[in-house]
């Protein structure tokens, strides 16, 4: 004889799609954490999962314990209902509008923002930016103008060199700020030197042309003098014969 207790009460998953349609909002209780998300209870017998990527639009959460605690209430929105396997996919960040739509107009490529380095990794550092968003600065862009390397807790200006709304990624650089200034100054100096060289070349050319014209003029004068002398000599030879 096989006995059951749950059959004494109605199946909570019966008509689940009617009570928890996709897009509906509810308040749940945090029951357990995993590395990939939070298990919550919507009602007795009905649990759901909030994936870690659906907790926040702007913050990169490494573990759900950073976001909430077991036993706390959390607002959720239903993303998907799998009645056959008794699974509810829930989200928390979807309760708010996607701020990356706004971030796209603020953190444009080339814009400069003040940020604080909050953590370091092998390939770079995480930078806290305005509006609660975080960016990443690779190690090769952490060198400061004095030659030292920026460290955790330092507040510096960073330039946005890459922005992706789809992957929610902002790549930053600090060293590019002064490197570009140095490059601009060098380019200006090179342009000035090149301009001066061109002006000197034009001046030399003008002088040469003046010398050439003067020489040709002198030759014409000499030729005229020579012709006059020759005429005078011819006239002098003719005078005795006339006498």
Instruction: List the Cα angle 75/77/79 in 5-degree steps.
Output: 150
Q: Is residue 59 part of a domain?
A: yes
Quote the tokens at residue 2.
Answer: 């096989």
All residue ranges of the chain with pLDDT < 50 are 242-243
Residues 62 and 129 in one domain: no
Q: Are residues 72 and 109 in the same domain?
A: no
Q: What is the pLDDT of residue 156?
A: 93
Q: Residue 109: which domain range?
A: 100-175
Shared domain for 112 and 76, answered yes or no, is no
Q: Distance of CA 97 to CAs 51, 65, 101, 103, Å?
A: 18, 24, 9, 12
Residues 121 and 169 both lie in one domain: yes
**What does the alpha-carbon distance between residue 229 and residue 99 come to, in Å, rounded to a whole number?**
99
Query: Are 76 and 108 found together in one domain?
Result: no
Asked if residue 81 and residue 104 are part of one domain, the reply reads: no
Give the strand pairing for 73-82 and 112-120. Answer: unpaired
Residue 18 is assigned to a structural domain of this protein:
yes
pLDDT score, position 83: 87
In-domain check, residue 235: no
Domain annotation covers residue 143: yes
Among 133, 152, 175, the domain boundary falls at 175
Instruction: State the CATH number of the domain containing residue 124.
Output: 2.40.50.140
Residues 65 and 22 in one domain: yes
Looking at the 3D structure of the chain, how many domains does it have?
Answer: 2
The partner residues of 82 in beta bridges, in order of sequence, read 87
What confidence score (pLDDT) does residue 180 get? 72
227 located within any domain = no
What residues contact 159, with CB distance under 8 A and at least 6 apart? 110, 111, 112, 172, 173, 174, 176, 177
The answer to whether residue 21 is domain-embedded is yes
Q: Answer yes or no: do 104 and 91 share one domain.
A: no
Residue ending a domain, among 149, 175, 201, is 175
pLDDT at 9: 84
Residue 143, burial from CB neighbour count under 10 angstroms (0-12, 13-18, 19+): middle
pLDDT attached to residue 150: 92
Nearest CA-CA partner of 101 in 163, 162, 50, 51 = 163
Residues 13 and 89 in one domain: yes
Beta bridge partners of 40: 30, 48
Backbone phi, psi, residue 25, to 5°: -110, 140
Same domain, 164 and 111: yes
Question: Rounded to an integer, what is the distance from CA 190 to the centroid of its chain?
Answer: 28
Same domain, residue pair 85 and 15: yes
Identify the pLDDT of residue 14.
86
Note whether 112 and 85 are same-domain residues. no
What spatial distance separates the first Cα and last Cα of the chain, rounded to whole Å? Answer: 172
Q: Tell which of 95, 120, 136 closes a domain.
A: 95
Residue 126 falls inside a structural domain: yes
The answer to whether residue 148 sits within a structural domain is: yes
pLDDT tens digits for range 149-193: 999 999 999 999 999 988 889 999 999 888 877 666 666 666 766
């Amino acid at each position: 004889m096989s006995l059951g207790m749950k059959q004494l009460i109605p199946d909570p998953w019966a008509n689940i799609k009617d009570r928890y349609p996709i897009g509906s909002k509810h308040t749940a209780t945090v029951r357990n954490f995993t590395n990939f998300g939070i298990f919550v209870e919507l009602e007795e017998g009905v649990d759901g999962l909030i994936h870690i990527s659906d907790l926040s639009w702007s913050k990169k959460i490494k573990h759900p314990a950073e976001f909430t605690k077991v036993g706390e209430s959390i607002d959720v929105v239903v993303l998907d209902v799998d009645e056959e396997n008794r699974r509810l996919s829930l989200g928390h960040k979807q309760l708010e509008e996607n701020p990356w739509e706004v971030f796209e107009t603020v953190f444009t490529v080339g814009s400069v923002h003040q940020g604080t380095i909050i953590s370091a990794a092998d390939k770079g550092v995480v930078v806290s930016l305005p509006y609660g968003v975080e960016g990443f600065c690779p190690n090769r862009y952490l060198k400061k103008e004095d030659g030292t390397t920026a460290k955790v807790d330092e507040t510096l200006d960073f330039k946005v060199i890459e922005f992706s709304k789809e992957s929610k990624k902002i790549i930053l650089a600090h060293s590019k700020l002064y490197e570009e200034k140095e490059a601009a100054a060098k380019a200006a100096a090179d342009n000035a030197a090149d301009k001066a060289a061109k002006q000197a070349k034009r001046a030399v050319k003008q002088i040469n042309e003046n010398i050439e014209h003067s020489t040709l003029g002198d030759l014409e004068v000499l030729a005229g003098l020579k012709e006059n002398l020759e005429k005078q000599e011819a006239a002098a030879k003719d005078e005795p014969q006339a006498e």
